[in-house]
Chain A
């Protein structure tokens, strides 16, 4: 099915099941520990051995020798594969760093060996016996030091947010020079780790030249293609299966070393091998959100209208890497005739920088939305009003191109009302409760809606049951449930009559989970397959498909009705289709919006910042399931608290690695950090987006949160911080005297 004209009325609009806050259909399995994650799939292949990987102890240079004699002789060891055993493997299309093979070291904790043994402990113990000799080379590890060498670079984030290396509209410099009120400030965001609960894990088994990998991956088709390419085998010989994913946040979008080394280990051991990356390797072996240095310049008239806006970002990556697309949202967020965005990329010898939840948007909004707060103060305007004055209903670089829906003003107005924004004291540092300085902050949330081709197969059985198969993944987001709701709504059956099977590369290729495109696109693919199935059912039962109604397990037209299952026959009835998109995405800017409101308290003596309450008002198209959507948004808001207050991969600039590579050193929010969160979804349907009229929310909930916290901290203390995370050491010198 091609979606190239705005959606009209369709069976989803009945909203009997879609749009309802139903519980997750996979919830009972997950809460009882019976949903098997990749490392727990003991039953999929017999006689599994355990793999353990060794990461490089240097960041740049060469492995000159590896002594594996002691390890090979260690108890239980079945096989050892070292990086010196083979030339460098091919690289997957989505990878920047090479994953294995050859003597060259590109980054710390690059995998240099896998040890396979009868038990996990034996594999780990033997790995520690491998003696490695290195020839170290100097590397480039300090973004600030390398920034002057950074080159202009264009990029797409891989999750759809992109920007040219430099884009200009009007005359930025001229307009900025003439503006009566201006801001020119530089901000930084740190490297961040996805820090998902489940580390990258895979079980690999060979049958002849056919490889099956039970893994944890967000994008099955990408993973299959890139694993085949890396191993140099035909893609049709590879099967990936990833029905449950214990968190990804972009860290599992791409093929990683776990799948490659499980496959190599299994080939060497001649039996199935399971392995998981250790926690330190999640930080230093896989990908991370790259640090940025961002400069923002804004010029405005005294009435608050922006006349000039510039956003430039510098980040670093390995050679042939990509910049963090931190300026992408500034192209679209606010009006202003004269505009400049630019991205620069420095070469760094740190681990690969790549997509993490809202890549580009998250760190970009962390910055631009502080800058807006600073400008509002310079103008003497309320920060909510300043944003509203500069709202735009069209793409500011291409004014002929409207937003399909844009309710940012409504999000901000309703949020301000609900949050009690009018009680905020515009003068910072004035509200004190005991030892706490209390403040409120606001930021706009803004994430584009991306649409991706997505396929599904639906099967009707004789009892009226419907089974959906698609390689879509559920990374904790609720995919199982919204897909079941879609199929139930389309086929007119109860939710319990739908079975959803996900994550298997033998199923039709879906949108996968990334860029907050998964919910809308994968359900639209299921919609397309169900349209076909409805036609087939109608034909079998002798109905005119345009008139047939599918309700309560029955198919009705006129005064005739028949049980749905009757159409299945003995063999069942199968339909397969995909949704693909025309040019609506070019003709319209599709985006999601939020107003993020935060109240913080800052200890006047120590500078400890604690979030007191948070509100997100979201406009994101039709909400397919308000319960799972809310879960996504509050999870994202929590991640925003981490980004604002504590998350930072600390770089050892001498030796080139992320030092705090475990969950004791890389702090993310704990329960005590998150006292109260509220989420409101505005009524919105977006017929431009898909037949579902839905959009994504999973990344919207993060975008802007960090800045709202920064702005609340400023309102509380009068100390303006421009460097994330905003830890107490950055303001302790500027807080009031303690009595």
Chain B
């Protein structure tokens, strides 16, 4: 861990301003991912801005019927919130499918969105990685890629986003609220929040330098039956091979987002028109253009079968 300076922010705008002032600064909330990465020097911030003291830990109703989730709401509290459980079941289920009880107690809403890939080549600092060291190359391509992306990847990076929560939020079309260093605020639809790797896989979100997440908002409840089906090699405490977040209506229409397949939560709205016709055509459209490796070609089949299982349950 590199030596770093540390401050406690007193307001969101001040946090953003402080981050803009200090190149290489990072916000720290739960620290469940950042501290691990700092110990390995994958992250080496010169300055940490502790945002835990900011009063961003409330879940509040929105005037038009949605919810505003403070950036610092812990995953445990969000999953257990009665309104979330009643109206946004997909989100509660996704949160509970992730990490462990101890980590969920500590991890925050904004931090969950910002967690970094678990690609093992990203974690091994003896190996080239374009995310860790832009331009050094991708050592995952051609290596052990069972966990890696099957769609939306590039020649520079085939990593996946590890979050469960973000997949559910993508299905719910959540909006990320931020404040910038100049005090201006912004609302970023989650579809535009995470980026595909392209040639700059080290740039993972559309946040600008210093831009600070204050909340995530959810639209009024969608109703329907909500599912989060996470497929993994062991029963708990593992990242998804494939996950399916689905909000299904009685008439067979719905929304589907996938985890474990891409550099960002993967949702193709146009493909959802196929849902009433079943999992096979729907997944063919969702994963149209997929370029899996030999190691992870199974994810295409697995995604289709998992969706089929979810649709069957939705019908039942």
Contacts and interface: CB of A to CB of B under 8 A. Distances in A.
B146 A729 contact: yes
Interface stretch (B137-145, B181-189, B214-222, B252-260): B137-145
Contacts of B126: 55, 57-58
B141 to A, nearest CB: 10
B233 interface: yes
Task: Tell me if B's interface is mostly helix, strand, loop or mixed.
Answer: loop
Contacts of B21: none
B146 A608 contact: no
A535 interface: no
Nearest to A650: B144
B241 A659 contact: no
A167 B290 CA distance: 51
B120 A661 contact: yes
A728 B302 contact: yes
A234 interface: no
Nearest to B298: A729
Contacts of A646: 233-234
Contact of B143 (A654, A664, A733, A735): A654
A652 B124 CA distance: 12
B1 A125 contact: yes
Interface string A597-608: 000000111111
B306 A728 contact: no
Given A729-B298, A738-B279, A654 B142 contact: yes
A728 B241 contact: yes
Task: Tell me if A's interface is mostly helix, strand, loop or mixed.
Answer: loop
Interface string B211-244: 0000000000000000000011111111101000
B1 A670 contact: no
A672 B234 CA distance: 8
Given A125-B1, A654-B143, A606 B123 contact: no
Given A57-B126, A652-B143, A728-B241, A608 B236 contact: no
Interface size class of B (residues with CB under 8 A): 35 or more
B143 A660 contact: no
Given A57-B126, A729-B146, A729-B298, A606 B306 contact: yes
B84 to A, nearest CB: 23
A607 B1 CA distance: 41
A542 interface: no
Nearest to B231: A606
A606 B236 contact: no
Contacts of A556: none
Interface residues of A, number: 45
Contacts of B233: 608, 645-646, 667, 725, 727-728
A608 B232 contact: yes
B86 interface: no
A528 to B, nearest CB: 45
A667 B234 CA distance: 8
A40 B294 CA distance: 45
Contact of A651 (B3, B144, B239): B144
A659 B120 contact: yes
Interface string A257-274: 000000000000000000
B118 A664 contact: yes
B82 interface: no
A739 B312 contact: yes
B309 interface: yes
B298 A728 contact: yes
Contacts of B39: 124
Contact of B144 (A659, A667, A733, A738): A659
Contact of B123 (A435, A604, A662, A725): A662
B308 interface: yes
Contacts of B237: 670, 672
A665 interface: yes
A732 interface: yes
B259 to A, nearest CB: 14
B20 to A, nearest CB: 27
A280 interface: yes
A660 B144 contact: yes
Given A435-B309, A659-B121, A661-B120, A673 B234 contact: yes
B242 to A, nearest CB: 8
Shortest 6 CB-CB contacts between residues of A and residues of B = A57-B126, A605-B309, A729-B298, A672-B235, A738-B308, A672-B236
Interface of B: 1-3, 39, 41, 118, 120-121, 123-127, 139, 142-144, 146, 231-239, 241, 279, 298, 301-302, 305-306, 308-309, 312
21 contacts: A125-B3, A128-B125, A605-B305, A608-B231, A652-B143, A654-B143, A659-B121, A659-B124, A660-B120, A660-B144, A661-B124, A662-B120, A667-B238, A670-B236, A670-B237, A728-B231, A728-B298, A729-B298, A729-B302, A732-B301, A733-B301
